[in-house]
Structure 1
Amino acid sequence: MYDLDTRKRALTLVAQGFSQNSVSKQTGISRAAIRSWLKRLEPLGYNRAAECPRCGDTASPPPDPASYSYLLGLYLGDGCISSAKRGVYSLRIACADAWPGLIDACAEAVQRARPANKVCRVQSQGCQYVTSFSKHWPCFFPQHGPGKKHNREITLEPWQQQIVDAHPWDFIRGLIHSDGCRIINWTTRLVRGERKRYEYPRYFFTNKSDDIRKLFSDTLTAVGVEWTTLSRGSDPLNISVARRASVALMDAHVGPKY
C-alpha cells in the first residue's frame, strides 16, 4: 500500500508529461499501480467513510434537510441502492436526457447529502444515472431493500417524515421530477356557433406503489392541493391535479421539468 503523498507525487509527474514507465523508474512504484490510480473514479482524498449524521452516537438530520427532501422524492421514484464491494453501496438515480436541468439538480442534491463523496454521471441509452458510492446510503434511505418498491412496503421513518413535513414542496418536486409531469390538456367548445379551443395545464403523478402514491397525495393535501385518482384499467396508478387554484400552487412551487 502506498500513502497518499506518494500517490499524489506519482500522478503529478504523469500530469507533467512523464510516461508511466519513467514515473515507475523514478519512484519505484509499479506501472500497474499507476494505471489503477489513473483509472479510479474517485479523486485522491475521497473519503467513503466520512462521518454519517445518521450513524453517530446521537443521530441527526442530513446536512441540508430541504435538499434531502427533494432527493428523497427522486429516490422513491427513480432511485435504487445496490451493494458494491467491501460494504460500500451505490446510489443510482435515473434521469432522462430530455431534462438536463433536472440532472444537474439531482447531482447537486446527492452531493449535498454526502459532501465528502464524489458524484458521477453514467450515460445510458436515453438517460443518465446520477451515481455516488458510500457505506451510508442505507442510513439515508432505510426504504432500501430487495426487490421492486411496489412489491414491498414503503414507509417513512419518523425523522424522514419530520423533514417532509418541514419541506413538503421539495418532496413533491422530487416526486414530480421522477414520476410526474406537467401537461397541457385541451378541449373545444361551441361558443355562439363557433367552435373554440381551450387549453389548461394539469399535473400527473404515476407510480405502481400504493405506498408511494399515498405519500405523494398525503403531502399534496397537507399543502392545500386538491387531487384525484385516475385508474389505468383497474389499477389506480395515476394522481391528477387539475383544479385551477391547485395547478397555480403547483406552478408556484414545482413547475414543469426542465
Structure 2
Amino acid sequence: MHPVMQRLRALQLLADGGSLSDVSRATGVSRASLREWRDRGPGALPATGACWVCEETVPAASSGYARLLGYYLGDGCLSRVRSVHALRVSCDRAYPGIVEDVTAAIGEVRPGARVQHVRAPGVVVVQSYWKHWPCLFPQHGPGRKHERTLVLAGWQREVVERHPADLLRGLFHSDGCRANNWTRRLVAGEMKRYDYPRWQFTNNSPGHPALVLRGARLGRRTVAAVELEDDLGLHPRRGGPARRAARAQALSALTPGVGRPGRPR
C-alpha cells in the first residue's frame, strides 16, 4: 500500500499537468496505479472504526478535516477517558450554526461516529470519543496549546494546502471574529465609500499553522487576517462575472451562515 503522502503528491503532480510517465518516474508509482487513482479516486475510504493515519490511506473528507483542525486549534482539546480520547470543541451558545458546523465536520471525518452536545451556561461543548483522535491531531500534548510550538505534520500540510479556506473557517469561527472594514476612494471625481468583510483571529502559539497559509496576511505578529479586497483580490463592488464568482466561492467557504458582520465569530 502506498503511503498517504506519496498518493497525495502523485495526484497533485497529475493535477498540475504532469503526464503519467513523468509522474511515475518522479514518484516511483506504476502508471497503472496512477491511472487508477486519477480515474477512480486515490483509494477506498477506511471503515468507520479505522484510522486512515495508522493505515496510511488517503485522508477521508479532506475539507472536513481541514475545518475540524481549525476548530481544534482554536477552541478544541483532547482528553483521555479510560481507553479512548474525547475530542471536545467549546462553542458559544449564541451561534448554533457553529455548533452544527463542528458536528458536521466530525461526521465527515469519521462517518457514523456518535457526536454529543454538552450544554453549560453560555456554551455548548461538541464532543466525540475515539481512540485515534491523537493520530489525527498530533499537536496534542501536555500543557496549553498557546504555550507550545505547533507544527503541522507532512500529511496535514498536504491537506491544508488543498483546503486553506476550510482551515481558516475553523480558525476564524473559534478564535476569530468577522467585522466590516471600509475605505474611501476617488471614483470619477467623487469620493465613494466601499464596505467589505474582514476576518481575523489571534493566537500566540509559535509556528501556528495558519501563519504560513497563502491568503492569510500578518496584521501583527500574532494576528492573521484575511480581507477580500487586499488578500484575495476580490473587491466587493468591482470586477466582472469571474471575479464575482470567485468572491462568492470565498465567502461560501469562510462564512457558512454562522456569523454576522460586526459581531464575534
TM-score (norm 1): 0.66
Of 219, 225, 230, the residue aligned with 1:229 is: 219
- Checking the alignment, whether the CA contact within 8 Å between 2:68 and 2:106 is kept in structure 1 is yes
2:255 matched residue in structure 1: 255
1:238 matched residue in structure 2: 223
Separation in structure 2 between the aligned mates of residue 173 and residue 253 of structure 1, nearest angstrom: 7
Separation in structure 1 between the aligned mates of residue 206 and residue 257 of structure 2, nearest angstrom: 24
- Checking the alignment, whether the CA contact within 8 Å between 1:99 and 1:257 is kept in structure 2 is no
1:91 matched residue in structure 2: 87
Amino acid at match of 2:200: F
Larger Cα Rg: Structure 1 or Structure 2? Answer: 1
Q: CA deviation at 1:160?
A: 0.9
Does residue 160 (structure 1) correspond to residue 150 (structure 2)? The answer is no
Q: CA deviation at 1:50?
A: 2.1
Separation in structure 1 between the aligned mates of residue 211 and residue 145 of structure 2, nearest angstrom: 17
Does residue 106 (structure 1) correspond to residue 91 (structure 2)? The answer is no
Q: CA deviation at 1:201?
A: 3.0
- Checking the alignment, whether the CA contact within 8 Å between 2:148 and 2:206 is kept in structure 1 is no
Taking structure 1 as reference, are residues 146 and 239 closer, same or farther at Cα in structure 2, changes over 3 Å only? same
Amino acid at match of 1:229: G
Q: State the identity as a percent.
A: 40
- Checking the alignment, whether the CA contact within 8 Å between 2:216 and 2:224 is kept in structure 1 is no
Amino acid at match of 1:53: W
Q: CA deviation at 1:228?
A: 3.3
Separation in structure 1 between the aligned mates of residue 53 and residue 216 of structure 2, nearest angstrom: 35
TM-score (norm 2): 0.64
After superposition, residues 142-161 of structure 1 pair within 5 angstroms as 142-161=138-157
Separation in structure 2 between the aligned mates of residue 66 and residue 185 of structure 1, nearest angstrom: 28
Does residue 65 (structure 1) correspond to residue 59 (structure 2)? The answer is no
Q: Secondary structure of the equivalent of 1:123?
A: strand
Gaps of at least 5 residues in structure 1 are 1-48, 190-194, 231-235
- Checking the alignment, whether the CA contact within 8 Å between 1:181 and 1:256 is kept in structure 2 is no
Amino acid at match of 2:251: D
Q: How many residues align?
A: 194
Taking structure 1 as reference, are residues 113 and 256 closer, same or farther at Cα in structure 2, changes over 3 Å only? closer
Gaps of at least 5 residues in structure 2 are 1-47, 186-190, 235-246, 259-265
Amino acid at match of 1:169: A
